Amino acid sequence: MAATDTNTSGVHSTPGADDLAEGHVVNVQGGDWDQEMGELGMNPEERIILNMGPQHPSTHGVLRLILELDGETVTEARAGIGYLHTGIEKNMEFRTWTLGTTFCTRMDYLTPMFQEAAYCLGIEKILGITDDIPERASAIRVLMMELTRISSHLIGIGTGGMELGATTVMTIGFRERERVLSIIEMITGLRMNNAYIRPGGVAQDLPHGAIDKIRETIPMLRKGIAELSAILLENPLFKGRTKDVGVLSLTGCTALGITGPVLRSTGLPHDLRKLDPYCGYEKYDFEVITRTNADAYDRWAIRIDEMLESLKIIEQVTDELQRDPGETMVADKRIAWPAKLAVGGDGQGNSLDHIREIMGTSMESLIHHFKLVTEGFRVPPGQAYVAIESPKGELGCHVVSDGGTRPYRAHFRDPSFNNLQAVAAMCEGGFLADVIVAVASIDPVMGGVDR
């Protein structure tokens, strides 16, 4: 049994047989810290290296933070990524242009519609058919993106609140997100990883009753968002944990390429829906939400207000969709998949009437369907970059074609990847507990970082 040495200062030193292997165990009981460390022969300036993650409940996925600590103060912070690498971008080079949507939708799994939209807009730009996309298809794209924006923000706010100990914030956030996901599932057949936005338009039109369901859900969502606002923004405990925490100025944001709510919390109204409209966003009336304190509190507040603006856009889109029946896919049959999707007893797929038509009445239709699905359409040589405003910031897609039926290269500028650069600037000089707040206010998703 190891003996315990005690000195008069209240420091207990416990040597043992494993000292050489595992170090010296010291228990300090009261007294001045510098004095205690001096008597033990230790340097009080020594730093502790702490690994937070990659398996940690407060890192929004498999993110590893390497923190150097001086007591409770963070002196250095670094982000380690790559623990969720999927090779999605590389895999897209071996699939047809249309099948690429089934891959990119899985990157940031909380914002699938935005990856699909950016990718398809890039393909359409190379094809030169941007102006040929039916207005109804663009309106449906806007509808699905804004529903997804609300869903993503609810997760960001809910999980961030849970990490601070506010479990009710999480339960309210997930409750409201279920309302949104039920609409998305009704329209696309899936809650996530939808592959609904396709080159040339969308996979199918809105099903019967979808607009009515959306309009019935909007008041309930407004009520739930108001609950979140009341329980968070007016809560003195929440204010104490988030105000003046994770501050990053406009200069820091522009130097690091930070976008989204983090950038808008500095007072800069940077929103690509206004600055460089796409999918007809210029037709809709909404405000770009900004704050000026550039801290974690402002980022939570911006996301709450942005959800209300998204509801305003959704109301305008549903009115437009009800007025304009229109088409949902480009007219060029060399590009548009000859699909007539319907929900049947065995799930969602081509309608039986459509299958009977292409298999029983038109050999040409059957051959065209087979070649378009298995071989894909050709995209002329060229490249395009398209940027859209995702819930986390600027999401860009750079697609390159060599004239074949598959992308030569597809690369995404995911906002979470860029925004994670702010971890060091936000955390260094603050307390260890504030690291959780700062990372939650960035709202990164590692599926988008490790592509």
Please say whether the beta carbons of 266 and 248 come within 8 A.
yes
The predicted-structure confidence for 396-410, as pLDDT tens digits, reads as follows 999 999 999 999 999
For 449, which DSSP code? Answer: H
- The arithmetic mean of pLDDT across residues 65-90, rounded, is 88
Mean pLDDT of 69-75: 86
Average pLDDT of the residues of the chain: 85
Burial (CB count within 10 angstroms: exposed 0-12, middle 13-18, buried 19+), residue 49: exposed
The residue that leads in pLDDT, 430 or 147, is: 147
Residue of 205, 180, 204, 208 lying closest to 192 (CA atoms) = 180
Are 365 and 230 in contact by the 8 Å Cβ rule? The answer is: no
> Using one digit for the tens of pLDDT, what is the confidence trace for 25-57?
666 666 665 665 566 555 556 678 888 877 777
Spatial contact of 63 and 435, defined as CB atoms under 8 Å apart:
no
- What is the predicted pLDDT for the residue at 367? 78
Residue 3 has pLDDT above 60, yes or no: no
Residue 431 DSSP code: B
- Residue 43: the pLDDT is 57
pLDDT at 105 over 50: yes
pLDDT at 1: 38
CA angle, 279 then 406 then 417, to 5°: 60
pLDDT at 45: 61
Position 124 scores a pLDDT of 93
Q: Among 442, 448, 60, 446, which Cα is nearest to 261's?
A: 442
Q: Dump pLDDT digits (tens) for 247-297.
A: 999 999 999 999 999 999 999 999 999 999 999 999 999 999 999 999 999
| pLDDT at 391 > cutoff 70 | yes
**pLDDT band at residue 5, thresholds of 50, 70 and 90?**
very low
Domains contained in the chain, CATH given: 1-46 (no CATH), 88-335+377-449 (1.10.645.10)
The DSSP annotation for 11-69 comes to EEEE--TTHHHH--EEEE-SS-HHHHHHHTT--TT--EEEEE-SS-TTSSSS-EEEEEE
Amino acid 17: pLDDT: 44
Instruction: Out of 52-56, 69-73, 117-121, 427-431, pick the least confident.
Output: 52-56
What predicted TM-score, i.e. pTM, was given to this entire model?
0.84
* Lowest-pLDDT choice from 41-55, 111-125, 420-434: 41-55
pLDDT confidence band for 189 (50 / 70 / 90): confident
When pLDDT is averaged across residues 377-388 and rounded to a whole number, the result is 93
**Does residue 70 sit in helix, strand or coil?**
strand
Mean pLDDT confidence for 155-172: 90
Grade residue 19 by pLDDT with cuts at 50, 70 and 90: very low
Q: How sure is the predictor about 430, in pLDDT bands with cuts at 50, 70 and 90?
A: confident
pLDDT at 14: 46
Alpha-carbon torsion, ordered 185, 188, 194, 196, to 10 deg: -160
